[in-house]
Structure 1
Amino acid sequence: MQIHVVQQGQSVYGIAQAYNVPVEDLIRANELQAPNELVVGQALVIPIIGSYYWVQPGDNLFSISRKFGLSYQQLANINRINVNQPLPVGFRLYIPPQKKTSAEFNGYVEPRGASVSQNLIDSAREAAPYLTYLAPFSFQALRDGSLKEPLLNDFPNIAKANNVVLMMVITNQEQDQFSDELGRILLNDMAIQNRFLNNIVSTAKKYGFRDIHFDFEFLRPEDREAYNRFLRKAKQRFSQEGWLLSTALAPKTRADQKGKWYEGHDYKAHGEIVDFVVIMTYEWGYSGGPAMAVSPIGPVREVLTYAISEIPSKKILMGQNLYGYDWTLPFVPGSISKAISPQEAIEIARQHKVSISYDQEAQAPYFRYFDSEGKQHEVWFEDARSIQAKFNLIKELNLRGMSYWKLGLSFPQNWLLLNENFEVVKRA
């Protein structure tokens, strides 16, 4: 699989010809809405086996082979060149496909409103072959220990048909906002807690959930140990049923990190108690903040580097956004940006005839444009390059895999590259 960045004057036909692939395959792989109007800076996935590398200044056969985990003799043999042959800048080398790494993938689905949209159902069905877990969001805990159920629609059947573990996501939300008071009650009132656990067990059996996933956020600092005790108790209970236990964790960089989002989460304890964690490594750029990359690679790496110092790496799923944001400039505190899919971002750039840039430090694409009212916008999103950078980080840090927030947003290149990089673990 090759990632190609569109240059000025290039067409879908010329690119297809350069890589010797059918135009229809290139259009289909990238779900190009307007194939005759490519955007300069747009990243395309080229559906070929392996990839090509063009020699850069300072390259030699040895340095290139190390980049791709090959010996220089292998690389020379594959390309039918002499090991001592000088490599001119621009010379094209074929790189064979690399061995896939086994990894697990989770996809959250968040039904909103009175019914589940057909788009969300279709998205879950299309993603399911690439998932280990499917996670309807969410069962909301109530103060008496009962549960408010989300719309499940056909999600249990989609999971079953694709050998995907159905994940029961449970939150301490009230009116769709995380509540520290609800958390306090559930973690400290033993009568309510026991009723809560009984309700979880009966509900999980009813629908066929096989992983119980707690996403408890904004907990009081003084409830940190109570949360750990609760998880130990839940683990013992769920293990009797043969179920997994997992948790969602805020993106911390040290154990004593201050802030309402962080202090209730004990990385080391979760790493010892639960089967795996989802670390929410996204929302640096968020709807209520200034324009920036949603999951810049530097901060993501910093969080995960700390995480693996406290939690076994094979218990960690990296959180990954399947969306971007469109901000109106200048940023005004209190304003809300619009969430968009990667495909929508490209379409906005095409409609406004602007080029897409790529921030090498953040490893994320972005662009600016003016709307019909003359207001300037800044868009940050995900593309083939940015998601490949995250896949590389999973392999480098030997993580369990990745968890997507959230399905329903079109990003076809993600699934193609996932399949290129990984052998998806199926546990069902």
Structure 2
Amino acid sequence: MRIHVVQQGESLWQIAQYYGSNINQIILVNQLSNPNVVVIGQALVIPETNKEYVIQKGDTLWSIAQRFGVTTGELAEMNNIADPSLLYIGEMLILPYFTYVVQPGDNLWGIANRNGVTVSQIVQANNISNPALINVGTPLRIPAAARPSTEINAYTTQTTPQGAQEVIALGEHFTYLTPFMYAIRADGTLTDMQDTALLDAAEAQNIAPLLVVTNFANNSFDSDLAATILRSPDLQDTLITNLLEIIQTKGYEGVNFDFEYVYPEDRENYNAFLRKVVERFKPEGLLVSTALAPKITADQQGLLYEAHDYQAHGEIVDFVVIMTYEWGWAGGEPWAIAPINKVREVLDYAVTVIPRDKILMGIPLYGRDWKIPWVDGTFARTVSPQEAVALAARYGVPIEYDQEYQSPYFRYTDESGQQHEVWFEDARSIQAKYDTMKIYGLRGGSYWVLGTAFPQNWPVLQTNFKVRKL
């Protein structure tokens, strides 16, 4: 897979010709509703011919395997396909092998080195008896290079049939699914959630569902509600017992605590509560995780940050989700949602107190459209990356890219004369985030949130990582 940024005067046909790629494969993987319209600065994913294949109408796993001379089992294993009947148009598959024709001056060591595989892998794939002797013009089957393994969590607020269908369609990309949310009550009980369809979808795609618990009440995170539970050992016991009952009844495989705006004086109470949860959950084989605000120092001031004890959480729970997004929040000034320099500033601190193999880095799957000049008290509209590109196309404006933030943005003027500024994610910005996960050696990433169309993300993820399934 390659990422191509559209230049002035280019057409999709020209781009396809340049890469020697099938134009229909480009249309499908990018979910282009109008192939005749591309935007200057738009980032397109270009599948590599003979290395990747985008599923088209009428395809089956068997027909694709036959076309490329591989087995359905090899295709399924390479692409985390749990059910061969669950294939979707526009889904990109990485092929287990591709063909390379031996050129003058080639040797197996050079071919292997260039393609990220070993000589023995090529020898085995081609039944070569004498590795020192290969003839010019000979077609060789080259195994796909191994990708690093990672874990991916996805939050979803979509409890509709469409939400469950999205989980099924994208399920090969997820280790965990975190339906949002169950909220605590002051008596240690929890609100209910219509999560059956999501849990069935997770099971179909071999995804581990984690129950999300929050202190959310009356449309906001409630500091007093958290305090009520965290300051009462008896209520904590009641809450944990209720949690275990729901988890065991519904088939969750663990819990993710998203307690936000907790009073600073409850910091140690929160840590003690988590220890108690782990003590009850571990014998049941259940995972315990937390969501943490993006801090850059241990003593960072602010109600969002102070009770989140990075070092303690890193010692107590199985893993943490660091919410490295929302710099460009709906009620603030226009800015990148997750500027990579700010994300890395948080990680620079986090890795000093939390084991790297316990950190999932937060990744936004959305953008925002602000009215400008910005006025305090106004709120931006959330847009999907796909919708953002459509806005740029509709108003005939080019997409810019901020190198410091590693984020695309543009400005436009609507029909009423109102000016707007849009920041969002694209294939380049998401690649920068996956590069960051690799550089910092993290356990993986965590998406907020499903339900927004971002087709370029999935092939970029696939190219970078093999997502681990439990």
1:128–1:134: 8 Å Cα contact kept in structure 2? no
SS in 2 for 1:41: coil
Amino acid at match of 1:210: E
* Distance of 1:337 and 1:381 partners within structure 2: 12
Aligned to 1:101: 148
CA apart distance, 1:117: 3.4
1:202 to 245, 249, 253: 245
1:141–1:171: 8 Å Cα contact kept in structure 2? yes
* Distance of 1:323 and 1:225 partners within structure 2: 34
CA apart distance, 1:17: 1.1
Which consecutive unaligned segments of at least 5 residues does structure 1 have?
52-72, 80-95
Aligned to 1:352: 395
Superposition map of 1:323-402 within 5 A? 323-402=366-445
* Distance of 2:113 and 2:273 partners within structure 1: 58
CA apart distance, 1:339: 0.2
* Distance of 1:283 and 1:268 partners within structure 2: 23
SS in 1 for 2:336: coil
Q: Aligned pair 1:250/2:293, yes or no?
A: yes
For CA contacts below 8 A with separation 6 or more, give which structure has more relative contact order. 1
SS in 2 for 1:148: coil
Moved over 6 A (4+): none
SS in 1 for 2:421: strand
Aligned to 2:76: none
Amino acid at match of 1:233: K
Aligned to 1:286: 329
CA apart distance, 1:98: 5.6
CA apart distance, 1:153: 3.8
CA apart distance, 1:33: 1.3
1:124–1:408: 8 Å Cα contact kept in structure 2? no
* Distance of 1:131 and 1:12 partners within structure 2: 31
Amino acid at match of 1:104: E
Q: Aligned pair 1:120/2:174, yes or no?
A: no
Aligned to 2:37: 37
1:267–1:307: 8 Å Cα contact kept in structure 2? yes
SS in 1 for 2:404: coil
Which consecutive unaligned segments of at least 5 residues does structure 2 have?
53-108, 116-142
CA apart distance, 1:188: 1.3
Amino acid at match of 1:285: G
Aligned to 1:139: 182
CA apart distance, 1:99: 3.7
CA apart distance, 1:77: 8.2
Q: 1:191 to 1:13 in 2, by over 3 A?
A: same
SS in 1 for 2:420: strand
1:273 to 295, 304, 316: 316
* Distance of 1:151 and 1:297 partners within structure 2: 35
Aligned to 2:229: 186
CA apart distance, 1:193: 1.2
2:366–2:383: 8 Å Cα contact kept in structure 1? yes
* Distance of 1:152 and 1:48 partners within structure 2: 38
Aligned to 1:69: none
Q: Aligned pair 1:24/2:24, yes or no?
A: yes
* Distance of 1:201 and 1:118 partners within structure 2: 26
* Distance of 2:161 and 2:203 partners within structure 1: 19
CA apart distance, 1:74: 4.8
Aligned to 1:59: none
Amino acid at match of 1:258: Q
CA apart distance, 1:308: 0.5
Superposition map of 1:211-222 within 5 A? 211-222=254-265
1:223 to 266, 287, 297: 266
Amino acid at match of 1:222: E
Per-residue CA distance 1:10-29 (angstroms, 9 max, x = gap): 11111111111111101001
Amino acid at match of 1:339: T
SS in 1 for 2:210: strand
Q: 1:97 to 1:340 in 2, by over 3 A?
A: farther
Amino acid at match of 1:108: Y
CA apart distance, 1:123: 2.0
Per-residue CA distance 1:313-349 (angstroms, 9 max, x = gap): 0100000110000000010111010000000000000
Aligned to 1:2: 2
* Distance of 2:113 and 2:440 partners within structure 1: 31
* Distance of 1:77 and 1:340 partners within structure 2: 43
2:360 to 317, 329, 336: 317
2:161–2:197: 8 Å Cα contact kept in structure 1? no
Percent of residue pairs identical: 49
Aligned to 1:412: 455
TM-score by length of 1: 0.88
CA apart distance, 1:206: 0.8
Per-residue CA distance 1:85-111 (angstroms, 9 max, x = gap): xxxxxxxxxxx9764110000110113
Q: 1:98 to 1:331 in 2, by over 3 A?
A: farther
